[in-house]
Chain A
Amino acid sequence: SAVISQKPSRDICQRGTSLTIQCQVDSQVTMMFWYRQQPGQSLTLIATANQGSEATYESGFVIDKFPISRPNLTFSTLTVSNMSPEDSSIYLCSTNLPPGLPMAQETQYFGPGTRLLVL
C-alpha cells in the first residue's frame, strides 16, 4: 500500500478564513482524490486531482470554494475557502496504488485525515 500523510492533522479556524491542507504520498501516483466526512456522515468525494490537468469536481463542489493543486505525482493541496461552520468536517486525501500492480486503479488508500472545526 502507499504511505500517505496529511498536514495539518487538525485545526480550528474562524469563519471567513481559508485553510490549505497538504497531502504527500511516498510514491508517484496518477490519481489523487479529496473526500469530506461531515459529522456522522459517510465519505463524499469532493474532486479528483490528476497531475498536469485541472481537478474534476463532483456535483455540489466548486473550484472557487475548494481550489486544488497537483504540482507533481506525489503531492496535492486542497484549500477550503471562506469557511463557515458548515465546513467543519474531516478532510481526507486518497490515492490508487502505483500503476502496474494488481487492481491498482480500483483500490484507494487514505491518508489520516485533517479534522477541521470552523467557529
Chain B
Amino acid sequence: DQQVKQNSPSLSVQEGRISILNCDYTNSMFDYFLWYKKYPAEGPTFLISISSIKDKNEDGRFTVFLNKSAKHLSLHIVPSQPGDSAVYFCAASSLTGKLIFGQGTTLQVKP
C-alpha cells in the first residue's frame, strides 16, 4: 500500500520556466511533508518542508503548496535552472518521526 505517491516518473521543462512536481498521500495522520533532491551517487538533500497547519511555504525559488482536503502537495521551482535536474522525492511523516517516501520524479531542465 503506497501511502505517498508521485505519479509522474519524469518531467522535462525549459530553463527559466516553472517546474511543478506533484505528490499525493493517503494517510490523514501525516502532519509534516518534505521535499528532497537527489543527484546520482549522492544522498538525498533536504530542500523544503511544510507543516500540516500551513498551506504554503516559500524558500527562494522553491515553494511548496499543501492541499489537505485533497491530500496533495506540490513543489514549484521558479525559474528552473539546468542545475535543478535531479530526482525529487516527496516524503511525509507523522508523530512517529518515520519518513515515508514517494517513488520520485526525475526532473530535466533543458538549457
User: Residues on A close to B: CB < 8 A?
Assistant: 1, 4, 31, 33, 41-45, 48, 58, 92, 94, 96, 103, 105-113, 115
> Are A107 and B46 in contact, with the CB atoms below 8 A?
yes
Chain A residue at minimal CB-CB distance from B102: A42
B51: chain A residues at CB < 8 Å are 103
> Are B46 and A108 in contact, with the CB atoms below 8 A?
yes
Chain B residue at minimal CB-CB distance from A31: B97
Residue in contact with B43 in the complex, picked from A44, A105, A111, CB distance below 8 Å: A111
Q: How far is the CA of A106 from the CA of B93 in the complex (A)?
A: 7
Q: How far is the CA of A31 from the CA of B98 in the complex (A)?
A: 10
**Total interface residues in chain B, CB < 8 Å:** 22
A44: chain B residues at CB < 8 Å are 101
A-B contact pairs, 25 of them (CB 8 A): A1-B46, A33-B98, A33-B99, A42-B103, A42-B104, A43-B44, A43-B89, A43-B91, A43-B101, A44-B101, A45-B99, A45-B100, A103-B32, A103-B49, A106-B32, A106-B34, A106-B97, A110-B36, A110-B44, A110-B45, A110-B46, A111-B43, A112-B42, A112-B43, A115-B41
Shortest C-beta distance, B107 to chain A (Å), equals 16
Q: How far is the CA of A47 from the CA of B99 in the complex (A)?
A: 11
Q: Top 4 nearest A-B pairs by Cβ distance? A: A110-B43, A106-B32, A43-B101, A42-B101
Q: How far is the CA of A108 from the CA of B91 in the complex (A)?
A: 10
Chain A residue at minimal CB-CB distance from B2: A42
Residue in contact with A113 in the complex, picked from B36, B42, B49, CB distance below 8 Å: B42
Given the known interface contacts A106-B93, A107-B34, A107-B49, the answer about A92 and B44 at a Cβ–Cβ threshold of 8 Å is yes
